[in-house]
Amino acid sequence: MAKLPKKITATESAKETTLRQFVSTAARKPVTASAVTRINLTMTEEDLARSAGFQEEGAISRADVYRAALVALENMPVEARRELFEEIRKTSPKAGRPPVNK
């Protein structure tokens, strides 16, 4: 969705523009826009509940919770981070389809 031009306050005067100029300014990407990539993650109900708890605590989005986790991981010592990875790898659920009983 395009970002609309800034709102005009009472202290500013509105300039006359044509429809073409208005659409052109509305269609431009904001300077602060960054590229994002959507991904799907396999999560357990427990992980989702913990994420929701952090979301409520900080009044933030789920993506912000994961970004904060990445920052926390970066700030950990390398050895502690490797130990955490090993612990998580052992207990993480395996992605894929459940077996079919015939």
Tell me the per-residue pLDDT of 45-95, one tens digit each, with 9 for 90 and over.
Answer: 999 999 999 999 989 999 999 999 999 999 999 999 999 999 988 888 776
From CA 61, how far away is CA 48, in angstroms rounded?
A: 12
The reported pTM is 0.56
Q: Which residue in 82, 81, 75, 55 sits closest to 66, CA to CA?
A: 55
Tell me the per-residue pLDDT of 2-58, one tens digit each, with 9 for 90 and over.
Answer: 566 566 565 556 677 788 777 777 766 666 656 778 888 888 899 999 999 999 998
Domain ranges of the chain: 45-91
Cβ pair 5, 22 in contact under 8 A = yes
27-63 burial by CB neighbour count: b if 16+ within 10 A, else e? eeeeeeeeeeeeeeeeeeeeeeeeeeeeeeeeeeeee
